[in-house]
Each structure stands twice: as structure tokens, then as C-alpha cells.
Amino acid sequence: MLNIQIDLLSEEDTPVNVVPLGRSGIKTTEFLYGAGSIGGVGSPVATRGLGITADQGFERLIEAYELGIRGIDTADAYGGGESERTVGRWLSMHGTNDVLVQTKVGNVVEPDRVRVDLSARYIERQLSQSLTRLGCVDVCLSHAIDPETPIEETLTAFAAALQDGTIRAYGVSNVDAELLEAWLDGASRSGLPRPEIVQNGFNLLNRDDEHGLAGLIESEGLAYLAASPLAGGVLSDRYLDVAEPPPGSRIALAGDLQYPGMYSPANLARVARLRDLAGAAGISTAGLALAWLRHHPLVTAPIVSPSTDAQWQAVRDALTVPVDDQVLAEVSGIFSR
């Protein structure tokens, strides 16, 4: 086990701003650290052990905190539970007063597939397990769509967790506008607390939520968290000028499972144009992709998972390098559909 001293920082020491999570009454920072690579790459059994180790994850959590990030995103299924266990170990050393802890529930991981269970019984059981691992849970999200469990049952389960103080707010992930509207309508009909946070994959190569969902997010005053902000690293320059993804990279390890359709010749050609634009603007390629997200009206906070100095520098670039509206518009134009 690592023996590392964590230096506490004040808000004045960091360039990271504090933002509200919709109308939940909860605040966090404009970037969250995504712990989905600790012990694996996301939830599938096939990718366990392919991410970063628990000790490496511990170091990444420290680096995120030292930069000023005060939000952690994990899930009960990530790395077979290793992600939550590592986050919990870090929290027990650091304390939780200034760190938002967000987890997800619903993924049932089996050797040959991942299915979804958002029944009341499953949510109660898995939330109890997450609390044991993490020590506290501020926000819990449904991990994906469960077509078999009535939404009212899931809403009731989250309402019970709010009522007994297990969580402070809840939300949904991997939803479209139709499903989100069904959740909101179900909560209204039942007189139950509504979801306040939406987390979906969103980046320059995946802008589907700009159409339909964005209007609903805005009108309802919901928080929107952008997962996979760099599309597995495709929106950096690490995959440019090489014949194939480097061994150990996210695309090499889990491209088809976690980032389908992101790595392609057409997308790489657009990233090459992004690199040229970033160079002219004095910012890294990945930094410009993150800056575009940071300034996007839909996005409350991107969820980042850096592992190297260069990847952390991209987050710093997005926070500190001025990027004007004209450059952001040019970025949008490169990746318009």
C-alpha cells in the first residue's frame, strides 16, 4: 500500500471553478475525475486488469485533488469493484468534506455480458455495498437503461435512498431525450423526487445530445456531465502519425467495447485539423478539445481520467489557456455533422 502525504489546498490555490449540479443544491468543480479505469476499463469482465492498478489509481486521485478537482465519478461495477474500493481507501485517508463522491448502480456484470437491473431490491443492495466501499455517496446515477423494471419502481428506490440520507441527489446516465422525459414525467406523476443529473458520453466526435436532449436539460435546469470527453484519447494527438493504436492505449485495449466508431481514418483526419488549430492558438490538441467542452452551454462538467503528465497538462490547458469564441466556433465547424 502506498504511503503518500496529501496536501490540502484552498480554493485560491487552484484554477478550477465551483459549479452547481443543476437544482440539486450540491456544488462540485467544473471537472470531475473519472475512476473508471482503476482495476479495468469500465465494467466488462473482458477488460478487467487492463486499466490502471489500485496503487496507480490512488496516485491519480491525489493528482486530481492537487490540481483542484473536487469530484470523483465511479461505479459499483468498474473493475469488479476495485474502482470503488480504491476511491474509498483514498477518501478514508483524505476525508470527504470537500470532495463530491458520485457512483452508479444497475450494471450486472456476467462473464459474457453486462445487463442492467434497476429494481428496488438491486438498487438497495448495491448502494449498501457502495457505501461500505466508499464510506459515503453524495450522488448515485442509474448506469444504463433497464427495459424490464418499471420507472416508478426505480424512482421509488432512489426516493427511499434520499429519504434515509444514503444519498444527497440522484440522476441518470446513458439516456436519450425520450427516456429522460419518461423519468421526469414519472417523478411528477408520483410526487417523487426527480433526477437532477444526467451523465452521457459527449465530445467533439459524439455530439448527439446537442439535438433534443440539450433543450430538455436546459428547460428542466438539470446538470449535465460529459463522459468520454476525449473519446478514448482519439481527440488528442496520440493516434496521429502512427500506423495503429499504441499497445496499452485505451483504443488498443477496449476500443470496440468502450469507444465504438471513435477511431477511424475520417475522425483522425479531423483531429489532425484540430491539432493545427490548437497549435496556432497556443494550446495542446487535447486541451483544446477539453476547452471546447468546458465552454459548451450544455456541459456542467467533463469527467476526465488522465494518467500521464501530458494528459494532466491538457486539463490544465483547458483551465488556464485563453481560447476565444472564434477558435471555439472553428473547432465546432471541424466536427460538425
Please determine, for residue 10, whether its predicted confidence score (pLDDT) is greater than 60.
no
- Domain covering 17-334, topology: TIM Barrel (3.20.20)
What was the pLDDT predicted at 9? 38
CB atoms within 10 A of CB 225: 26
Give the Cα-Cα-Cα angle 71, 303, 268 (nearest 5 degrees): 160
* Mean per-residue pLDDT, 302-320: 94
**Domain chopping of the chain, boundaries:** 17-334
What was the pLDDT predicted at 325? 97
- Alpha carbon separation from 158 to 135, 175, 193, 258, 313 (Å, rounded): 18, 17, 8, 27, 38
Report the C-alpha gap between 205 and 294 in whole angstroms.
15
Give the Cα-Cα-Cα angle 47, 52, 57 (nearest 5 degrees): 130
- What's the maximum distance between 2 C-alpha atoms anywhere in the chain? 56
Q: Give per-residue pLDDT as tens, 275-301.
A: 999 999 999 999 999 999 999 999 999
Report the C-alpha gap between 253 and 175 in whole angstroms.
25
Q: Give per-residue pLDDT as tens, 189-217.
A: 999 999 999 999 999 999 999 998 999 99
**pLDDT, mean over the chain:** 89
Output the pTM of the full model: 0.92
The better pLDDT of the pair 230, 39 is held by 230
CB atoms within 10 A of CB 326: 9
Contact 300, 224 (CB under 8 A): yes
* Mean per-residue pLDDT, 213-240: 94
Q: Given its phi and psi angles, is residue 223 left (phi above 0), alpha (psi -120 to 50 degrees) or beta?
A: beta
Length of the chain: 337
